[in-house]
A and B are shown apart, each in its own frame.
Chain A
């Protein structure tokens, strides 16, 4: 009897079993999980991560944990760095002497044209200097060969050639916008969205994500007493205005480092500071990549510039108009 059922070619009989199997396949847990779970923002670097990730895809932070805010963390002193032309190699420099060479060096270059002890870099108050300590294939700064033991100053953008390896020096003020290469916003570029902290429309944001955000180490202006607005930056091509408060208003692309966030790729991670004091406004470019313009004229980095209501301010790409609140 059993045999006949198994061998029976009748589709209605045999058909039951495969139908059950098919249902199983559709309800496989992995399938549903992808359908319904939402991204989790990294509490450290704010990169959205798919729920399948255990560690942040960008900074590697263990997503299940909370970061420890290091209260006495010294502001990491950035004294500039050397980067390869393709951006793949990066050597942050330290204050004082940095050795350059093929072995046991601070700037370690695994390349046969680089000598074991090739040269030295000095990061000093007076500037950054490079010296060739008698290498076989020489050291060049902007195409000019150094004499052995000759100290030459390098500046932001200087091209330093070690043997056959070409590196570019990036001074500390400009070092920040390296982050520009990363996808930082889901908004179309060029468009200014004033509240980029929300990666999700409110109704879609899962509760878990919001919890994670609350644990973020520095959530700018989140729990400070609501300050009185003293003015605003109005985007020229529409969009919501950036509200200015009394004191320093930090401006930049990174949500974790600025009070006013401009999610535009042309705006640096930390772009400028706008200080409002007793009705007067000063704007300082803090070393942005693409610069800051006031009424079309570039302002010098790190030099405060007095600005007036009605002035047109360009932060890398986007243009704003300064307006002052009445009363």
Chain B
């Protein structure tokens, strides 16, 4: 037993991993009940994620062009894996002039907190940026915690905000550690707009997208009223990480802790969804994403997934007329790296629609659950417009509250209580005169995710 454990988790000496060999039979892929000889392979093939695909309507008219939505729902495995995977973490810290005083102090203590939570198997690096970026501590195992904290405590305020160089340096620290056997994550903490180096929004997001192709994920933590929530949300979204808005300095340690806990529960990384279209089918859009289109395919990046988490993608298809019958209009493929075994894995689901000439079948074939998901995706889109409108003061706070209330009800209807809470918080922000855009942006980023906690 111990021998086979080591074959599968070569990097981890932790014996509690044996728990991973107690797979629930119903959770297993393929359902192939193999012989004794196959048992080791089966354990290895236990899936980190599953995908199901729901069509808006089981029927479509064979004689005319039609449109239809799909919901792809991806669920991360919820089974206990024993000990967690070691993390390769880089803290990318803004120490520009505006951080002076309590923000910097709280940030340092938050970093100390992170160091305390890490274990000797974990790797940590620290990068700081103001006018330029510097490595405060190169990537190394968290053995001497006191020494690491000492490094962080030496940090002093600078002047401007060179975000671009900070991201690049942080990514290079993560990349200096072999990816195998670690969950990597860059934690970007900033309180302002980029003011030095490459300040271009598109270049910064472009860099993040490029780093993502190397398997590096950024979580963006925005502090205070000055940072650009649109930029930070894009960084998080395009790399599959999280976005947080930290209102007060004393909350910094708490948010750092929350992110670290999230990180320690990650079971699937580099999650990508690909829609493979059949003939006479077009993907019109994937809500809230920018798909990369290929020959009869559309592909998007999804968030890294925690144990038990569910996220969904809403896809709109255009369907052309054809001879009547049952067709797979699209195949949904979701690939990820299982962060426990470190192996790539792909799961798929079919979107099947029957094409008919009978309009009553089409009228009866509606799946209301999918329609509600579409409503929420539309609501998320209109929230984005509201955020823009609030920033340019084209949307009054009364109108914003009205729309937020509507969205909140929709979310509650669908049982998305966490997201509804985010919206409620934004409403409270508006009433309290605070910058609700930043809270709202978090609601938008998390709209398609359901954490099972």
Contact status of A73 and B294, CB under 8 A, knowing A44-B325, A60-B329, A61-B325: no
Q: Which residues of A contact B328 (CB under 8 A)?
A: 54-55, 60, 62
- State the interface size on chain A (CB cutoff 8 A): 35
Q: Which residues of A contact B322 (CB under 8 A)?
A: 44, 59
At the interface, yes or no: B10 with Cβ under 8 Å from chain A?
no
B250-293 CB contacts (< 8 Å) to partner A = 278-282, 284-285, 290-291, 293
Q: A44-B322, A56-B278, A62-B352 are in contact. List 4 more A-B contacts (CB 8 A).
A: A65-B325, A68-B62, A73-B62, A76-B321
At the interface, yes or no: B381 with Cβ under 8 Å from chain A?
yes
**A110 x B327 contact (CB < 8 A):** no
- Least CB separation from B286: chain A residue: A110
Q: How far is the CA of A87 from the CA of B297 in the complex (A)?
A: 11
Q: Which residues of B contact A56 (CB under 8 A)?
A: 278
Q: Name the interface size band of chain B.
A: 35 or more
- Can you offer 24 A-B residue contacts whose CB atoms are under 8 A? A44-B323, A54-B328, A55-B328, A59-B322, A60-B281, A60-B328, A60-B329, A62-B327, A65-B326, A68-B62, A69-B323, A70-B357, A72-B63, A73-B62, A73-B323, A76-B320, A86-B293, A87-B295, A88-B294, A89-B282, A90-B282, A92-B282, A92-B318, A110-B285
**B37 x A21 contact (CB < 8 A):** yes
**A70 x B324 contact (CB < 8 A):** yes
B91-119 CB contacts (< 8 Å) to partner A = none
**A67 x B282 contact (CB < 8 A):** no
> Using a CB–CB distance below 8 Å, which chain A residues touch chain B?
21, 24, 44-45, 54-56, 58-62, 65-70, 72-74, 76, 84, 86-92, 94, 103, 108, 110, 217
- Least CB separation from A25: chain B residue: B37
At the interface, yes or no: B367 with Cβ under 8 Å from chain A?
no
Q: How far is the CA of A114 from the CA of B62 in the complex (A)?
A: 32
Min CB–CB distance A255 → chain B (angstroms): 15
> Using a CB–CB distance below 8 Å, which chain B residues touch chain A?
35, 37, 62-63, 65, 278-282, 284-285, 290-291, 293-295, 297, 316, 318, 320-330, 350, 352, 356-357, 381
**A110 x B282 contact (CB < 8 A):** no
The 10 A-B residue pairs whose C-beta atoms are closest, nearest first, are A60-B278, A68-B324, A88-B293, A55-B328, A60-B328, A62-B326, A59-B279, A67-B323, A60-B327, A67-B325
Min CB–CB distance B292 → chain A (angstroms): 9
**A58 x B326 contact (CB < 8 A):** no
**A70 x B63 contact (CB < 8 A):** yes
**A59 x B285 contact (CB < 8 A):** no
Other-chain residue from A21, A55, A72, A88 in contact with B327 (beta carbon distance below 8 A): A55
Q: Which residues of A contact B279 (CB under 8 A)?
A: 45, 58-60
Min CB–CB distance B234 → chain A (angstroms): 11
Q: Which residues of A contact B318 (CB under 8 A)?
A: 92
Q: How far is the CA of A279 from the CA of B327 in the complex (A)?
A: 45
Min CB–CB distance B356 → chain A (angstroms): 8
Q: How far is the CA of A61 from the CA of B357 in the complex (A)?
A: 16
**A74 x B63 contact (CB < 8 A):** yes
- Least CB separation from A68: chain B residue: B324
**B285 x A73 contact (CB < 8 A):** no
